[in-house]
Amino acid sequence: MYCIITIVRYPAWFGWAGFLSMALFRLPLWLNKQFSFYKLLGCGKNGTFDIRPDWRQWAVLTVGKEKSPAGCRHVYGPLIYNWWRLFKCTASTIVLEPIEGHGTWDGKACFGILPRQTGYDGRIAVLTRATIRLSRLRNFWKHVDAVAGRMRKAEGFITSAGIGEAPWIRQATLSIWQNKTAMKNFAYQIQEHAEVVRKTKKENWYSEEMFVRFKIVSGNMDEFVLL
């Protein structure tokens, strides 16, 4: 099983086309039999959870058996690919293999049943997502900036992208690290992040959450090319 994430940037003044695509792309993705799961996602600013949506940047996440896509047209089909071409979008695609994790997305174990831990310690991508309880939104967002700032400065951190299904409520971060050791050092030894982890459990911030680690098969989130 593989996960493909494409982040697309629209030129200035065409962010509305990205917003519209979130409705238009549902049917072709639903009809595409190679996908067992898909999500159309908005993006936050500054590469992580962000209360300000980036109206020019949007994402598609799919799960299926395809390992090495020949390109966006091959993965998503002509309608989606030609829409992006029409608006002269640039895109970055990364192919991931899930190896560890827990939790659900819309009640589904969309990446399969995974072990909590493996011996893998190479370059790694981490997806953390949650549906935040309305009563806990204020608690969640007041901690975001401090954690994001520490993550960007953490040893072994490479890059990250903030993605989500609904602004402020259903959020996710995909981060890339040089190895699992560096990621764990940030997660459990950086005070700000460790404190948030403790509070989410104690105060029951999330109605649903997921945490998955991936091997990186191909791609780089920092390399955007014209479609």
Please tell me the distance from the alpha carbon of residue 25 to that of residue 97, in angstroms, as a whole number.
24
Architecture of domain 2-226: 2-Layer Sandwich (3.30)
Between strands 2-9 and 90-103, the pairing is antiparallel
Q: Summarize pLDDT for 18-72 with one digit per residue, the tens.
A: 999 999 999 999 999 889 999 999 998 766 666 678 899 999 999 998 766 656 7
Q: Summarize pLDDT for 160-213 with one digit per residue, the tens.
A: 988 988 777 888 889 999 999 998 888 777 666 667 677 777 778 888 999 999
| Number of residues that make up the chain | 227
Please tell me the distance from the alpha carbon of residue 76 to that of residue 173, in angstroms, as a whole number.
22
| DSSP string of 64-125, one letter each residue | ES--S-S-HHHHH-HHHHHHHHHTT-EEEEEEEEEEEEEE-BTTB-TT-S--S--S--SSEE
The answer to whether the Cα torsion of 8, 22, 78, 70 is positive or negative is positive
The mean pLDDT of 3-13, rounded to a whole number, is 94
